[in-house]
């Protein structure tokens, strides 16, 4: 991503956001471009400073200052100003980018913590519901088992009653039914 560091490019720079903030590669590329522009401005200042010193040495040897030396001084002063402006702009852009990245990271962390809390709460609620359902199912199972046990006892008693009636001589089937009916009704 190329950004015009001498124009409004740094202030208007935008970056894609990712789950944990701005795209680090884009931010690094932007900062690298700013640093590169600053270094180039600094090299230009150093070159102009060296030329100025050379002109000053020549000027010291000649009594009158040449217009070239005055122009070089102006250029050098301008270069220093530009370099300082680039540096200030780069620092401001870096602070803004880092501040936005930290803000986005904090927002995402807060959201993740809120989501985790909601999930934990929902899981605990669901666990309580399932435990209650298990408890109700176990109570129903115990009730069914008790009922089955009572029915088994009743069947056993009916079976004994039938065996005892068949062991005694009966005159007819209706007599046997009449004798067993009160026992079967009492047990049911």
Query: Please, which residues have CB within 8 angstroms of residue 22's CB and are 6 or more apart in sequence?
Result: 15, 16, 97, 100, 101, 104
pLDDT recorded at residue 20: 73
pTM above 0.85?
Answer: no
Distance CA 14, CA 101 (A): 12
Name which residue leads in pLDDT, 181 or 133. Answer: 133
Q: What is the pLDDT of residues 93-149, one digit of tens each?
A: 888 888 888 898 899 999 999 999 999 999 999 999 999 999 999 999 999 999 999
Query: Please, which residues have CB within 8 angstroms of residue 18's CB and are 6 or more apart in sequence?
Result: 24
pLDDT recorded at residue 74: 86
pLDDT recorded at residue 122: 94
Stretch 16-34: mean pLDDT: 79
Stretch 1-27: mean pLDDT: 64
Q: Cβ(169)–Cβ(175) under 8 Å?
A: no
Query: Please, which residues have CB within 8 angstroms of residue 102's CB and are 6 or more apart in sequence?
Result: 21
Percent of the chain with pLDDT over 70: 74
> What six digits make up the tokens of 104?
């986005």
Q: Cβ(21)–Cβ(38) under 8 Å?
A: no
- The answer on pLDDT for 188 being more than 50 is yes
Q: Cβ(139)–Cβ(128) under 8 Å?
A: no
Q: What is the pLDDT of residues 69-89, one digit of tens each?
A: 678 888 888 888 888 888 888
Name which residue leads in pLDDT, 19 or 25. Answer: 25
> What six digits make up the tokens of 20?
């944990």
Q: What one-character DSSP code corresponds to residue 117?
A: H
pLDDT band, residue 15 (cuts 50/70/90): low
């Amino acid at each position: 991503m190329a950004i015009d560091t001498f124009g409004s490019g740094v202030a208007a720079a935008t970056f894609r956001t990712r789950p944990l903030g701005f795209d680090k590669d884009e931010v690094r590329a932007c900062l690298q471009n700013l640093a590169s522009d600053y270094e180039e401005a600094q090299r230009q200042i150093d070159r102009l400073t060296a030329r100025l010193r050379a002109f000053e040495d020549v000027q010291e040897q000649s009594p009158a200052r040449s217009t070239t030396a005055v122009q070089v001084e102006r250029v050098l002063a301008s270069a220093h100003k530009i370099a300082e402006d680039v540096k200030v702009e780069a620092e401001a852009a870096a602070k803004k980018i880092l501040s936005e990245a930290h803000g986005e990271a904090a927002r995402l962390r807060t959201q993740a913590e809120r989501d985790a809390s909601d999930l934990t709460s929902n899981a605990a609620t669901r666990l309580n519901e399932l435990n209650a359902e298990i408890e109700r199912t176990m109570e129903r199972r115990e009730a069914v088992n008790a009922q089955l046990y009572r029915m088994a006892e009743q069947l056993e008693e009916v079976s004994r009653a039938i065996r005892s009636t068949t062991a005694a001589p009966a005159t007819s089937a209706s007599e046997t039914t009449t004798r067993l009916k009160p026992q079967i009704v009492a047990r049911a």
